[in-house]
Structure 1
Amino acid sequence: MTALALVAALLGAPKAAAFSIASPQGVDVASWQHPEGAAINWREVSAAGHRFAFVKATEGIGYINPYFAADSQQARNAGMLIGSYHMARPNYSATAQAAEYAAVLATQPQPSLPPVLDIEYAEDLGPVELSAWVREFVTEIERLTGRTPIIYTYRYFWQKNMANTSEFSDYPLWLAAYENRPPRDIPGGWNHMTFWQRADNAVVPGMVTVADVNLFNGSEQQLDDFSADIDVHLGEVLTAGIDLDAIGGRVTELEALGSNNRELVGAILAVAAGALAIGALVVVAQSQGIDIGPATEIVERVRELIAHGDLPVPDLQVMFQTGDYTIGDLLILLKNVQHFAEQIG
C-alpha cells in the first residue's frame, strides 16, 4: 500500500477544477507523480485552473529529482509560475544541503517562486538542534540565492519537534493542513499562511496519479509580485471563515479531517498496547465521518507500521494527551513515518 493510495482513497480523490474565489490555486509534485516514468501534461494542468507549480528539486545530500528539469520547463512553457523545494534531512549538514539545492535552482527557468525548505523530519535532532539546523539552512540558501526562502511544514511537527519556536515567523509559511476551511491554529508565531496545502489527493487533469493542491493567500497580482520579490501584504484572503465550496465543491472527508483526532488516536494506541482488536479501528474511523473503504485503508497502514515496529507511539501519545490536533494532522504524521521507514529500509 502506497502513501498516495491511502490518501487518494481517504479523501475520495476530488477532481481539481477552475475556481472563482480570489486565491490562486496550484500543485506541488515530485517523482511520485511519475509512476513508471509517466509524464505530466502540464498544459492540461494549467488549463484546469492551476496558476503555479512547486517541483521537488533535492532531498538531503546527493538526491536530485530526475523529473525536476523537465517538469520545471514544461510547466513554465504551459504558462505557470514555477517554484521548487528541498526536503530536509537534518542528520546531514544544512550548509551542504543548501549548496546542492542552490546549484540545482540555478538550472531552473526564471523567474521563479522563492526557494522552499520542506522540514518535516526531525531524525535524531531535538528542538534546539533542529532550530539551529533550520537557521543554518535558511541563512545559507538566502546568501546563495539572494532570496528569502519559504518554510513548508505541518502543525504537529512544528509544535512538537520545533518546540513551536517563533524564531522563523518572518519567513513566508507554507502550511500543510488537510481541512475544508483554512486552519485557525497556525503554529510558530505566524499570523497567516502564504501558501496552504489543502489536500494531497486531488485528481488533476494531465496527471496519472493524485497530487497535492495548494492555495496562495493573495490575489493573482500579488502572486506575480511575490514571485518577483516585490514586498506584498498578504494574509487577507485565506481567512478562517472563507467558503471554499467554489473550489471543486465541498469534500465530505475534508470535513472529517478537520475534526479532533483524540478518539481515533486513542484507539490506535489501544491497538498498539494489545487492548483493542485492530479491526475495531474501522468502526472508530467511521464514527469520525470516514467511509468504510478509507477507514479500512487507515487500519492497513496502522497494521503495517506496527508490524515493522514503526508506529510512532510517543508522537501519538502527545497527540492524545494534548487533544489539540486534527485527523488530518494524524494522517500527515503517519504518512511521513511510513515514507521515512521506506526510504531507510
Structure 2
Amino acid sequence: MDFLTHDRATVRATHNRAVLIPVTALITALALIATLLGAPRAAAFSITSPQGVDVASWQHPQGAAINWREVSAAGHRFAFVKATEGIGYLNPFFVADSKQARNAGMLIGSYHMARPDSSATAQAAEYAAALATQPQPSLPPVLDIEYAEGLGPAQLSSWVREFVTEIERLTGRKPIIYTYRYFWRENMANTAEFSDYPLWLAAYENQPPSDIPGGWNHMTFWQRADNGVVPGIVTVSDVNLFNGGEQQLNDFSAGIDVNLGQVLTAGIDLDAIGGQIAELEALGSSNRELVGAILAVAAGALAIGALVAVAQSQGIDLGPATEIVNRVRDLIASGDLPVPDLEAMLRSGDYTIGDLLILLKNAQHFAEQIG
C-alpha cells in the first residue's frame, strides 16, 4: 500500500532506538547467523482465483498513466485504487484510474489509508465523500490499517471500531479491513472483535497463508506480493487474489453475501494469467535468521555487506537481496530502523520474510514522508 505524510515526533519516538539492542537479542541473532543453510529455489506458485491489482500515486511516476486496457487484457479482474489518507489527502489519480479501469471492464474498488493519530470519524467522512465520485457499482470500501502512530491495542481497536461503524453508516456498506499479520497480532493484540468484517490480508509467500490473525477463518482478498510485473503499469504493483470464483466476486461486489469459509486452493499457473512474481518461496520462510542479521548489523556486530549473503542463503536472489540491504542501510542511517518490532519478530519466530519486508517497506515510506 501507499503512504503520504507522517508526524516526525511520533516516528522518531517509535524508531529512534536503532542501536539499543539487548545483549540477549544480539546473542540470539549471532547464533542464528552462525547456523545459516542455503535454501533451494521453488517453482512458481499457482492458484485458481480472480486476480487484481491495487494502485496509488506510486504507480504514476512523473505523472505516467496506467494503461488499464492492458492491465485487464493481462487477466486482472479487479482494481483497488487508493482514495484518501488521513485527513486532507485525496489521491489525484483516484477518479481517472477508477473510471479508466471501469471502462476497461474491471471491477473497481478503493481504500483509505488510516492515520490513527487523528479523528476516525473525520477520516471516514472524507473517504465517503471521495467514494461519491467513483463509478458504480464498486467493491466495498476498505480500511487500510498498518500504523499504530503511538496508540496501544485498546486505543487502536477503538479507532478501528469508530471508523468502520461510521463508514458503514455513511455508505450503507460493510467495509473490508486490510492489514498484515505482524501489525494485527502485535499492535492490535490479535483482537477477534472485527472478524465478521471481510479480510484483505497482505502475506507475501507462495502458498495461501493458513495462520490468519484476528479470529478470521479465511481471507476475502489476499495481497500475495508487492512486486508484480503487470502489463500496462510502468512500475511494479501489488497483486491480489480473490478467495472464490468469478460469480462469487460479482456477487460480493453487488453486496450479495458469499460463503467463502476456506483458504485459497491450488490451480492454474499465475504466469499464465500475467504478473510474474519472484522470491515467493523464500518470502514464505521464517524470517528469524534475516531479522537476526539485521539486528546484528544495527548493533555493529555484523558488516552491512554480509547481509547480502545472509539474504541469499535464505533463497533470495542477488537483486532483491541487495534491495533489502539498501533499505536497511537507509533506515539505519536515518535512525528509522524499527528495532523494537524486529526484536519482537526475533523473539516470536512466527513471522515470515514476507512479513519482515512489509514492516521494512512501511518504515521506509514512513521515514521518507517526514524527511
TM-score (norm. length: structure 2): 0.85
Amino acid across the alignment from 2:338:
P
1:243 Cα deviation after fit: 5.0
CA distance in 2, matches of 1:196, 1:233: 16
1:216 Cα deviation after fit: 0.3
Q: Deviations over 1:104-126 (max 9, x none)?
A: 00110000000000000111101
1:21 Cα deviation after fit: 5.3
Structure 1 residues 158 and 285, CA gap change in structure 2 (3 angstroms): same
Any idea what SS the aligned residue of 2:204 has? Answer: coil
CA distance in 1, matches of 2:264, 2:121: 34
Amino acid across the alignment from 2:285:
S
1:78 Cα deviation after fit: 0.6
1:296 Cα deviation after fit: 1.7
CA distance in 2, matches of 1:235, 1:41: 34
Counterpart of 2:7 in structure 1 is: none
Runs of 4 or more off by more than 4 Å in structure 1?
A: 249-252
Counterpart of 2:237 in structure 1 is: 211
1:252 Cα deviation after fit: 5.4
Counterpart of 2:271 in structure 1 is: 248
Please tell me whether the aligned partners of residues 181 and 243 of structure 1 are also in contact (alpha carbons under 8 angstroms): no
Amino acid across the alignment from 1:247:
L
CA distance in 1, matches of 2:278, 2:367: 30
Any idea what SS the aligned residue of 1:95 has? Answer: helix
Please tell me whether the aligned partners of residues 210 and 263 of structure 2 are also in contact (alpha carbons under 8 angstroms): no
Any idea what SS the aligned residue of 1:298 has? Answer: helix
1:155 Cα deviation after fit: 0.4
Counterpart of 2:211 in structure 1 is: 185
Amino acid across the alignment from 1:108:
Q
CA distance in 2, matches of 1:253, 1:20: 14
Counterpart of 2:107 in structure 1 is: 81
Any idea what SS the aligned residue of 1:152 has? Answer: strand
Report whether the alignment pairs 1:273 with 2:299: yes
Report whether the alignment pairs 1:124 with 2:143: no
Please tell me whether the aligned partners of residues 262 and 323 of structure 1 are also in contact (alpha carbons under 8 angstroms): yes
Please tell me whether the aligned partners of residues 192 and 216 of structure 2 are also in contact (alpha carbons under 8 angstroms): yes
CA distance in 2, matches of 1:113, 1:174: 12
Any idea what SS the aligned residue of 1:248 has? Answer: helix
Counterpart of 2:136 in structure 1 is: 110
1:300 Cα deviation after fit: 1.1
Count of residue correspondences: 327
Report whether the alignment pairs 1:67 with 2:67: no
Structure 2 counterparts to residues 245-324 of structure 1, below 5 A = 246-248=269-271, 253-324=279-350
Structure 1 residues 252 and 50, CA gap change in structure 2 (3 angstroms): closer
1:293 Cα deviation after fit: 2.2
Report whether the alignment pairs 1:136 with 2:159: no
Structure 2 counterparts to residues 40-55 of structure 1, below 5 A = 40-55=66-81
TM-score (norm. length: structure 1): 0.92
CA distance in 2, matches of 1:342, 1:120: 16
CA distance in 2, matches of 1:300, 1:109: 40
1:237 Cα deviation after fit: 5.9
Please tell me whether the aligned partners of residues 79 and 109 of structure 2 are also in contact (alpha carbons under 8 angstroms): yes
Q: Deviations over 1:58-115 (max 9, x none)?
A: 0000000000000000000111100000000000100000000000001100000000
1:278 Cα deviation after fit: 1.2
1:235 Cα deviation after fit: 3.3
CA distance in 1, matches of 2:109, 2:361: 24
CA distance in 2, matches of 1:285, 1:134: 36
1:20 Cα deviation after fit: 9.0
Deviates more, 1:148-157 or 1:286-295: 286-295
CA distance in 2, matches of 1:211, 1:331: 15
Deviates more, 1:216-225 or 1:19-28: 19-28
CA distance in 1, matches of 2:193, 2:262: 23
CA distance in 2, matches of 1:251, 1:203: 7
Any idea what SS the aligned residue of 1:189 has? Answer: coil
1:22 Cα deviation after fit: 3.8
Q: Deviations over 1:301-343 (max 9, x none)?
A: 1111000000000000000001000000000000001111111
Which ranges in structure 2 are unaligned for 5 or more consecutive residues?
4-43
Structure 1 residues 322 and 330, CA gap change in structure 2 (3 angstroms): same
Structure 1 residues 277 and 293, CA gap change in structure 2 (3 angstroms): same
CA distance in 1, matches of 2:359, 2:137: 33
Instruction: Select the structure with the greater relative contact order (CA < 8 A; seq sep ≥ 6).
Output: 2
1:251 Cα deviation after fit: 5.1
Please tell me whether the aligned partners of residues 208 and 263 of structure 2 are also in contact (alpha carbons under 8 angstroms): no
Any idea what SS the aligned residue of 2:129 has? Answer: helix
1:236 Cα deviation after fit: 3.8
Structure 1 residues 83 and 252, CA gap change in structure 2 (3 angstroms): closer
Any idea what SS the aligned residue of 1:320 has? Answer: helix
- Percent of aligned pairs with the same residue? 84
Which ranges in structure 1 are unaligned for 5 or more consecutive residues?
4-15
Structure 1 residues 323 and 243, CA gap change in structure 2 (3 angstroms): farther
Q: Deviations over 1:257-277 (max 9, x none)?
A: 000000010111111111111
Please tell me whether the aligned partners of residues 180 and 251 of structure 1 are also in contact (alpha carbons under 8 angstroms): no
